[in-house]
Amino acid sequence: MTPLEIATRYFDAWNRRDPEAVLATMAAGGTYADPTTNGPLTGDAFAAYMNGLFSVFPDTSFEVVSKGQPAEDLVAAQWIMRGTNHGSMNGLPPTGKSIELFGADFIRVVDGKICSVDGYFDTAVIPRQLGLQVVVQPNAIGPFTFGTSIRVSTGKDTKPGAFSVTALQPRNADEVKTVSNLSRQVAMEMLSAPGFIAFVGVTVGDRMLTISAWEDPQAPAQLMRGGTHAEAMKHFWSGLSLSGYTSVLVPERTNTRWARCPACGKMADHAKQSGNCECGSPLMDPIAYW
């Protein structure tokens, strides 16, 4: 078979979503690499990569737009990958959205087998098409450390009477993923917990921090009695993270919330003026406490 025919077999196996058939086109020790693999994959690692992709996009397909043979042992192929997000990606729930990714593979063939595949595509395309944020920022500059955050809120406009704080120091990316998944589950359960107001989770450098607002200092204690929070504590005591702590903080003073009048443009004390500006116009709703 010619290199072009072998490349066709390779893409056909991908379109059947059959990792064994894909591997059958590869030479012993043949490698696959793209911008998401953190280096070349081979054998079982390559199969696991494919199965992971198919679990996220069960209808994955590749349309080969063009292919050619720029050298005796090299095939260059432009493709469009399509699929629908019906599986969890990075611990997030499926969106049900469809994606279309343009890319190219350079496939090296020797003695009728693929020795290497080097794929190229824009890694930001799929997250954006799924409605996810793509944030490019440094890990740290001088005293500043950068990260990501999430917020979960009941929508209550209640002044917090206490804040529960949890800080963890994960060892690696796997522990970050575990803590993130557990934190999301805890936050979802807290939405129905008496006295809960809102939750903010922050990952910065080697620190993962959650701060939850409650109506009173006694309310956070219910998390210790069961549910995912109790499960997460078991993970902590059995080896999850290098270090950590929890606390319940009570605010010393909560200042007034100011809101700008849409009519005259002045700031007004929303509570003191009962939601109305001195000019007589209704004020905008004030920012939530947490």
- CATH class of the structural domain 143-249: alpha beta
Domains 3-129 and 143-249 share a fold: no
Closest CA to 23 of 1, 2, 53, 45: 45
Q: Are 215 and 158 in contact (CB under 8 A)?
A: yes
Dihedral over Cα of 127, 103, 23, 15: its sign: positive
Output 25 or 224, whichever has higher pLDDT: 25
Between 132 and 75, the more confident residue is 75
Radius of gyration, alpha carbons of the chain: 26
CA-to-CA distance for 253 and 123, rounded, in angstroms?
46
Q: What is the number of other CB atoms lying within 10 angstroms of the CB of residue 23?
A: 18
pLDDT band at 87 (very low <50, low <70, confident <90, very high): very high
pLDDT in tens, 110-136: 999 999 999 999 999 999 999 987 777
252-287 per-position pLDDT tens digit = 999 999 999 999 999 999 999 999 999 999 998 899
Whether the Cβ atoms of residue 195 and residue 159 lie closer than 8 Å to each other: no
pLDDT tens, residue by residue, 157-189: 999 999 999 999 999 988 998 998 899 899 999
Domain ranges of the chain: 3-129, 143-249
State which fold the 3-129 domain adopts.
Nuclear Transport Factor 2; Chain: A, (3.10.450)
pLDDT of residue 89: 86
Mean pLDDT of 196-200: 96
Q: Rounded to an integer, what distance in angstroms lies between the CA atom of residue 23 and that of residue 234?
A: 40
The structure's pTM equals 0.67
φ, ψ (nearest 5 deg) of residue 33: -145, 140
